[in-house]
Structure 1
Amino acid sequence: MKKILIPILLIAFFVAFWNQNSEKSNLYITIIAVLIFMFGMMKLSAKVPPKDDENDSEKI
């Protein structure tokens, strides 16, 4: 899943900035690209464990 999600995020990031730099930018394309990027980042960050684990604080 991670191997598929990272290229999709990169493409969405590229499309959002490319659309803004074009002479006639489309707002809807930018909004869709940013939404895809944000939802993808949420999926990736959900797999990262929290820094402060409750079990670690009990050991001290």
Structure 2
Amino acid sequence: MKKLVIPFMLAAIIVGLYEQSKEKPNVYILCIAIVIFMYGVMKLSAKTPSKNQEEKEEDNVE
């Protein structure tokens, strides 16, 4: 899954930056690029445990 998400995120970043550099950027393309990027960040960070979860596990052990 990670192998698919990262290229889509990179493509969204490149398209967003290219569109932003135009004289009249298309707002819809920028919004779609942001949504794709945020979705990718959400998917990649979903597997990262939070600090609170680690603290709760340590409290339960004692």
Settle same-fold status: TM greater than 0.5: yes
The higher-RCO structure (CA 8 Å, 6+ apart) is 2
In the alignment, structure 1 segments of 5+ residues that lack a partner are none
Aligned to 1:32: 32
Percent identity over paired residues:
47
Counterpart of 2:18, as a letter, is: W
Match runs of 1:3-22 below 5 Å: 3-22=3-22
TM-score by length of 2: 0.82
Aligned length: 60
**Structure 1: 4+ residue segments shifted above 4 A:** none
**Which consecutive residues of structure 2, in runs of 5 or more, have no partner in the other structure?**
none
